[in-house]
């Protein structure tokens, strides 16, 4: 299966832990990140002040946070497809390497 390449080009905070994300093909996705903010990497983002420090990484073209948290742009683009697995994996204290989000 081919992994699609998407780039995040813009985002807007539209509510508590909810971002509207625009991709390089013009598509937009609204994502409520609250259910995924668990575990060692994503749990600290429950602090809204930290969550709101999100930026677009200019090299990998995805959302990144100061604590090192990020999501693959393809995952963000296809959030409805991956959401249940993301939430399940984020809740594991030590996800297996093959389960990277």
Q: At a CB cut-off of 8 Å and minimum separation 6, what does 62 contact?
A: 7, 8, 56, 70, 71, 72, 73, 76
Domain membership flag for residue 68: yes
Domain membership flag for residue 66: yes
17: left (phi over 0), alpha (psi -120 to 50) or beta: left
Domain membership flag for residue 77: yes
The pLDDT tens digits of the residues spanning 33-50 come to 999 998 889 999 999 999
Question: Domain range holding 77?
Answer: 8-94
Residue-level pLDDT at 76: 96
Domain harbouring 60, CATH code? 3.30.2020.10
Domain membership flag for residue 54: yes
| DSSP-derived secondary structure letter, 93 | S
Which two structure tokens, joined as six digits, stand for 95?
């996800």
The pLDDT tens digits of the residues spanning 51-98 come to 999 999 999 999 999 999 999 999 999 999 988 888 777 665 444 443
Give the number of domains in the chain: 1
Q: Which helix (H) or strand (E) holds 14?
A: strand 8-15
């Amino acid at each position: 299966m081919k992994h699609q390449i998407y780039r995040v080009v813009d985002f807007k905070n539209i509510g508590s832990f909810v971002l509207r994300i625009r991709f390089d093909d013009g598509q937009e996705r609204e994502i409520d990140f609250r259910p995924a903010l668990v575990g060692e990497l994503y749990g600290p983002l429950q602090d809204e002040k930290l969550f709101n420090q999100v930026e677009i990484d200019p090299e990998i073209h995805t959302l990144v946070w100061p604590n090192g948290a990020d999501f693959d742009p393809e995952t963000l683009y296809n959030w409805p497809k991956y959401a249940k697995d993301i939430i399940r994996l984020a809740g594991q204290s030590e996800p297996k390497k093959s389960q990277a989000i």
